[in-house]
Amino acid sequence: MPETKRPTVARKTKSARSAAKPVSKPPRSPQNGNGAKARAAEARGKYVYCIIGSSEQLRFGPLGIGSEPADVHTINYRDIAAVVSDTPIEVHDPTRENVLAHERVNETVMRKHTVIPMSFGTVFKTREDIVELLRSAYDAFHDVLVKMEDKLEFGLKVLWDRDVMVREIERQDEDVSKLKQEISVQKGSTYFARMQYGRLVDAALQAHSEKYVAEIFEALRDVAVASRANKPIGDKMIMNAAFLVARDKETAFDQRVKEIGARFDKLTFKYTGPWPPYNFVNIRLKLERAKEK
Amino acid sequence: MPVERASGGSSLIDVLDRVLDKGIVIDAWVRVSLVGIDLITVEARVVVASIDTYLKYSEAVGQVGGIAGPKLIDNKTHEAVLAENASLKAQLAAKSGVAKATAGAVAKRRRAE
């Protein structure tokens, strides 16, 4: 019975607004608990996927989150719109299915529109609430939509095989190869030689990785609007980047990534996209309690 | 190694990497978010706490490693741009004969000449 988890502090409602939508009014007293339970079971909210610029009502088809893919449509305010679908009011766990549904909708909308993606799991109670969201943050949304117009995000992860690199370093670096030689023939303790070998190899790996990453960023610089380096995940990854690319430079960017792939044949590239510009837009909204009148 | 592009939705990790805390995020009251954000009946209003766009990332060149900005026009280095900037300021100051307060360094240099 989630309805009872709502903050129970008594507060005034603007009479005109609440009168217009009695269904979404929270239970005010224990007496109507049963009614609340019945309502909770059938309560429908609106899941928000993204914000786009559009003055028209749009429909994107049955793609939405939920076991029966809900109809995805817009809720409009002036020249911007929220892309939403009806959903039960509940916490959406980031399961494979849910997360992919969220992404699927964004990718579909993105084909024809500039989107500001919403982070996963945002559900509003009513259509009016979403209009209120669009109204309150209109300037921010409008401004960011203009900035993101016709720009796409691409992901580029670069991985290497550490062992292959270590062998490479042993071949190339004289100090390292000498030490390796020493360790293999030395009698007695090789502790210090091994320590030093480890230090040298680590430093050389680090230097190689930095050099590769710098070269890759440099090679993509003039075909991207901006880039962002995220923390690499795991010890094979040396680069975890996102690039913001103008739609008309998409082919050029694509071509450049492929050239880089051919040039750095010891590295593995994971190239993904187009994505909504998740890595290049961060709008944090907070809810504030409106002042009591 | 030939590089193939995979569409966004093909890797769950890549999707999770993005959708959980990026884009538009609402720092809601936890209890409110449990039952859907309810603006009107709980008399809440939405306030924009912060906006960051790619401009932040392109301006961060040099401060944070690996973050690249748009390519500078004509491949000028930062120093070259600063030098050009200073010389333009000097020209401007010479023409207008004012702007002494703002072009202090330039004025000093001109005195030294």
Residue A203 sits in the same domain as residue A237: yes
Domain co-membership, A177 together with A253: yes
Are residues A124 and A183 both part of a single domain?
no
Predicted local distance difference test score (pLDDT) of residue B60 = 41
Please give the pLDDT value at position A40: 44
Shared domain for A131 and A244, answered yes or no, is no
pLDDT band, residue A287 (cuts 50/70/90): confident
The percent of residues in chain B predicted with pLDDT above 90, rounded, is: 7
For range B50-71, the mean pLDDT: 52
State whether A209 and A241 are in the same domain: yes
Q: Is the dihedral of CA B104, B105, B109, B110 positive or negative?
A: negative
**End position of a domain, from candidates A149, A167, A193:** A149
Is residue A155 within 8 angstroms of chain B, CB to CB? yes
Mean pLDDT within A183-195: 83
What would the mean pLDDT of A71-84 be, rounded to a whole number?
Answer: 97
**Chain B contact probe: residue of A282, A292, A293 with most B CBs at under 10 A:** A282
Distance of CA A176 to the CA centre of its chain: 42
Pairing of strands A281-289, B23-27: parallel
- Can you give the CATH number for the domain in which A232 is found? 3.30.70
Domain hosting residue A195, numbered range: 153-280
B 4-63: CB under 8 A from A: 4-29, 31-55, 57-58
Do residue A126 and residue A201 come from a single domain? no
Does a structural domain hold residue B69? Answer: yes
pLDDT for position B36? 66
User: Does residue A25 or residue A50 have the better pLDDT?
Assistant: A50
Whether pLDDT at A20 is above 50: no
Please tell me the predicted confidence (pLDDT) of residue B10: 81
Binary contact (B11, A288; C-beta < 8 A): no
In a shared domain, residues A126 and A192: no
A130 and A247 together in one domain: no
| Most B-contacting residue of A15, A125, A254 (CB-CB within 10 A), to test interface | A125
pLDDT for A112-130, tens place per residue?
999 999 999 888 888 998 9
Count of structural domains within chain B: 1
**Whether residues A133 and A161 fall in one domain:** no
Residue B89 distance to chain A (closest CA, Å): 29
Q: Please report the pLDDT score of residue B33 as a whole number.
A: 53
Quote the minimal CA–CA distance from B81 to chain A in Å: 18
Is residue B54 domain-resident?
yes
Q: Which residue of A has its CA nearest to B43?
A: A290
Decide if pLDDT at A101 tops 60. yes
Confidence of residue B4 (pLDDT cuts 50, 70, 90): confident
A261 pLDDT higher than 90: yes
| Residue B1 belongs to some domain of the structure | no
Q: Is the pTM of this model over 0.80?
A: no
Helix (H, G, I), strand (E, B) or coil at B24: strand
pLDDT for the residue numbered A288: 78
Confidence at A81, pLDDT banded by 50, 70, 90: very high
Q: What is the pLDDT of residue A27?
A: 42
CB contact under 8 A, B40 and A129: yes
Per the listing, tokens 């710098």 go with A214
Look up the domain containing B50 and give its range. Answer: 8-112
Please give the pLDDT value at position B34.
55
Q: Which residue has the higher pLDDT, A43 or B92?
A: B92
Are A143 and A163 part of one and the same domain?
Answer: no
CA distance B86 to A64: 56
pLDDT (0 to 100) of residue A89:
84
Environment class of residue B8 by beta-carbon count within 10 Å: exposed (0-12), middle (13-18) or buried (19+)?
A: buried
A110 assigned to some structural domain: yes
Which of A6, A147, A148 minimises the CB distance to B31? A6
Q: Kindly state whether residue B86 falls inside one of the protein's structural domains.
A: yes
Is residue B7's pLDDT more than 70?
yes
User: Is residue B58, in this structure, part of any structural domain at all?
Assistant: yes
Instruction: Please indicate, yes or no, whether residues A178 and A90 belong to a single structural domain of this protein.
Output: no
Band (pLDDT 50/70/90 cuts) for residue B77 is low
Strand order in the sheet with B23-27: B23-27, A281-289, B44-53
More confident residue, B68 or A95: A95
A18 in a structural domain: no
- List CB contacts (< 8 A) between B34 and chain A: 2, 5, 91
Mean pLDDT for chain B? 67
Residue at which a domain ends, from A98, A128, A149: A149
Q: What is the pLDDT of residue A29?
A: 40
A189 pLDDT higher than 60 = yes
* pLDDT, mean of residues A145-166: 94
Residue A291 lies in a domain: no
Instruction: Provide the number of structural domains found in chain A.
Output: 2
Q: What is the band of A149 on the pLDDT scale with cuts at 50, 70, 90? A: very high
The domain boundary residue, chosen from A113, A132, A149: A149
- Which one of B14, B34, B37, B56 would you mutate to disrupt binding with A, by most A Cβ within 10 Å of its Cβ? B37
Count Cβ–Cβ pairs < 8 Å, chain A vs chain B. Answer: 283
Q: What is the pLDDT of residue A2?
A: 42
Using the Cβ of B67 and the Cβ atoms of chain A, whether some distance falls under 8 Å is answered with yes
Question: Same domain, yes or no, for A259 and A141?
Answer: no
Q: What percent of chain A has pLDDT over 90?
A: 63
- B39: which chain A residues are within 8 Å (Cβ-Cβ)? 124-125, 128-129, 132-133, 287
Give a yes or no: residue A290 inside a domain.
Answer: no
A89 contacts on B by Cβ (under 8 Å): 35-36
pLDDT at residue A291, as a whole number:
60
pLDDT tens digits along A200-242: 999 999 999 999 999 999 999 999 999 999 999 988 999 999 9
Averaged pLDDT, A51-58: 96
